Copies of this chain bind each other. A is one copy, B any other.
Amino acid sequence: MEYVIGMDFGGTSVKAGIVDDEGRIIERDTIPIDALSSFDEIMTPVIQWIKNRVKKNELEIRAVGIGTPGFTDKKRGILIAGAENIPSLKGHSIPGMIEKQTGVVAFADNDATCAAAGELLFGIGKKYRNFVMITLGTGIGGGIAIDGRIYRGRDGFAGEIGHMCLDPGGPHCNCGSRGCFEQYASGPAMVRLYSEKLKKRGIKPSEKLTPKDLFDAARRNDEVAMETLDLVGLRIAQAFGTLLNIFNAGACIMGGGISKSGDLLKKIVSKHLPDFVWPELLENVSLEIAELQNDAGIIGAAAQAYERLLSK
């Protein structure tokens, strides 16, 4: 049996684990980080964690897989941009430092790409050689599998699905564009839409409203919540429709925190999907919810490393 360390970099901690070649986490940990400290300060406990596991030498650790927000250059592993919540990572190569200090080969990739790799190797994606995946959370990420491999594009930046423009007259996005997918179907976007709709009906929304509250209300048949989710589902269908028209894929997968409310979302998206796809491109296409869920970070980071070891 082979093992890979998976590490998911977030704003307050690095979630780390040892993942076997069947996608099981056999050890897991949370390494706290101060996201505003220097690159070396962030990496010191991370490197130490890896060294401790490699030193023991009980398991053969084949590689370290890293997931981060933003764009990582596939050739050099340098984080180029887009990880604003951990600013000192920018311009550095996490896998480069890990390889140098531990001697273990390392690969880094965008966290949504990792999530897609996780599903491809160890989740619902195993059934499909071609699929498109979106991760719905604070933002929207994307990952693409083509002929059983993760598609990374020229530099490794492919799958920036959250910023596909669904309407050039739509709401402003923090990326500078307007009408990005993220502005319609991310957690904050759906909460904002729900709040606006409540206000229009003279109901003051709680300031602590979460996507979970929205889904709970819809399950209680709350009209405003159902109307909101219908619009969210329409936009997800528009995005998946474009992706299916382009890729002629076999499945659309929804992941990320919000996909926990998957069944309701799946129903709404399924309803709207035929409006956005050529019938021939919708035949035998499955709409699926990601399987890895809470473990997607660690397993996904490890999976993209496994996936790249295959092509070494």
**Which positions in A face B, CB cutoff 8 Å?**
71, 80-82, 129-130, 142, 144, 146, 151-161, 163-169, 175-178, 234, 238, 241-243, 245-250, 275-276, 278-281
Residues of chain B with a CB closer than 8 A to A142's CB: 246
Output the nearest chain B residue to A155 by Cβ-Cβ distance: B248
Residues of chain B with a CB closer than 8 A to A81's CB: 279-280
In contact, B246 and A164 (Cβ under 8 angstroms): yes
Q: Would you list 15 pairs from A and B whose C-beta atoms are within 8 A, ordered by A residue? A: A129-B154, A153-B247, A153-B249, A154-B250, A157-B280, A160-B248, A161-B245, A163-B278, A165-B241, A166-B168, A167-B169, A168-B234, A177-B276, A178-B275, A242-B242
Residue from A154, A175, A241 whose CB has the most chain B CB atoms within 10 Å: A154
A259 to chain B, nearest CB (A): 20
Q: In whole angstroms, how far apart are the Cα atoms of A275 and B81 in the complex?
A: 18
**Choice from B156, B243, B279 contacting A248 with Cβ under 8 Å:** B156
In contact, B165 and A246 (Cβ under 8 angstroms): no
Residues of chain B with a CB closer than 8 A to A144's CB: 246
Q: In whole angstroms, how far apart are the Cα atoms of A82 and B130 in the complex?
A: 23
Output the nearest chain B residue to A272 by Cβ-Cβ distance: B168
In contact, A160 and B130 (Cβ under 8 angstroms): no
Residues of chain B with a CB closer than 8 A to A152's CB: 248
A234 to chain B, nearest CB (A): 7
**Choice from B160, B165, B281 contacting A157 with Cβ under 8 Å:** B281
A157 to chain B, nearest CB (A): 4
In contact, A153 and B177 (Cβ under 8 angstroms): no
Extra A-B contacts (10), CB below 8 Å, given A157-B281, A158-B247: A82-B278, A130-B153, A152-B248, A154-B250, A157-B278, A160-B245, A163-B278, A164-B245, A177-B275, A246-B246
